[in-house]
Homo-oligomer: A and B are copies of this chain.
Amino acid sequence: MPSPAPPEEPRHAPAALHDLVTRIFRRLGSTPEDAALIADMLVWSNLTGREGHGLARVPSYAAMARAGRMDVRAAPSIERALPATLLIDAHLAPGPVAMVRATQWAMERARASGGCFALVKRTTHTGAIGYYALKAAEAGFAALIFGSGKPLMAAHGARVPSLSTSPIALAVPGGAGGPLLLDMATSVVSLGRLRQLAARDADIPEGWALTAEGAPTRRAKEAAIPLPLGGAKGSGLAILFEAMTSVLAGAPVVVPALLGGADAGRGASAMIMVMDVAAFSPPEAFAADVEALRATLKALPRQDGMDAIFLPGERSRARAAQGSAEGLRVPPALMAELEALAQL
């Protein structure tokens, strides 16, 4: 259920927001196609409740572009290719441009080989990786994507930011109910969520975060360093994701950032794995079995106090449908900033 928003946040049609963001990136120098592609990912993030990866990022994207830390004119290129692998250099192109292109190239290869592993290096803010996994599922592929970037989360046992909150997304095509899509961080909670809770001085459970000095805290206001999900489990996933993305691509992110050397700004990276469903099973039979899994799980007897069992992606799809029909709420200060960026 969406929480009631304050009355001062008017609703905006997603198409109008898309147009606004497209104009901003056109002004920054993107091609019409790239600008629309960036706007798609950002507006989808707001529609599906991933505000931290949505319109709120536009000002920082613009600042990165102006500072030369993002190149809106860059075209990602294939550096090495085999029938089932691609090493893609994003050349600091905006994350959505690099990731959408890489996912498309991976799917083209997987149509011939059955599957493909596309490794993207030197992208900037990768964006909501669930968006790219969903695109693949909508085209008939099972997808698994994970990423790594700048250290924000403490490694298990460490008192300083030492690993990315490395996200992982998995998606498969479905039938009438649409794809299943899971999109999660390897931290217990995101920095964005901690900031929301800090704004109302909330308490947080033990094990969520450390203070900036590395001490455990139960106050959101003091929380500065998120802790990994399940301790050694989330920490281990983030370590292996860094090894299988940045390190495998020859562009490590975590070590240069921790050692603070001149290479500390080489950006983020991501691994995109896609499998053509048809390489294993008839797609119609697969879709029917996914729907049977969905229906069977939703009908399970529930724990006391649970209203429903939600399948991965179900709530964000409902939210997107509502946002498309009713419009999206955007904080007026952010809207003013976006409008100014479009007119610069």
Contact = CB atoms under 8 A, between A and B. Distances in A.
Interface in A87-108: 87
A239 B286 contact: no
A188 interface: yes
Contacts of A292: 252, 255
Interface stretch (A57-65, A241-249, A336-344): A241-249
A180 B243 contact: yes
Given A184-B233, A249-B281, A114 B296 contact: no
Interface in A246-266: 247-250, 252, 254-255, 258-259
Contact of A83 (B114, B182, B232): B114
B84 A162 contact: no
Interface string A137-148: 000001010000
Given A230-B229, A311-B239, A254 B188 contact: no
Contact of A239 (B216, B233, B248, B297): B297
Given A84-B115, A303-B214, A311-B239, A155 B297 contact: yes
A115 B233 contact: no
A116 interface: yes
Interface stretch (A10-18, A41-49, A272-280, A325-333): A272-280
Nearest to A254: B293
Contacts of A230: 184, 188, 229-230
A302 interface: yes
A188 B233 CA distance: 10
Nearest to A169: B240
A243 B175 CA distance: 13
Interface in A268-312: 273, 275-277, 279-281, 285-286, 289-290, 292-293, 296-297, 300-304, 306, 308-312
Contacts of A289: 247, 250, 252, 255
A156 B300 contact: no
Interface string A163-193: 1000000111000000010101000100000
Nearest to A235: B312
Contacts of A114: 82-85, 117
Contacts of A290: 243, 247
Contacts of A38: none
A210 B115 contact: no
17 contacts: A82-B114, A85-B280, A142-B243, A142-B248, A156-B309, A156-B310, A158-B300, A158-B306, A159-B304, A170-B237, A172-B243, A184-B236, A214-B303, A239-B311, A247-B281, A250-B289, A258-B296
Given A144-B273, A157-B300, 20 more contacts: A80-B280, A82-B112, A82-B114, A82-B115, A84-B110, A84-B115, A85-B113, A85-B276, A113-B113, A114-B117, A142-B243, A155-B309, A157-B303, A157-B310, A158-B302, A172-B247, A184-B237, A240-B312, A248-B277, A249-B280
Nearest first, the 3 A-B pairs at minimum CB distance are: A85-B114, A82-B114, A84-B84
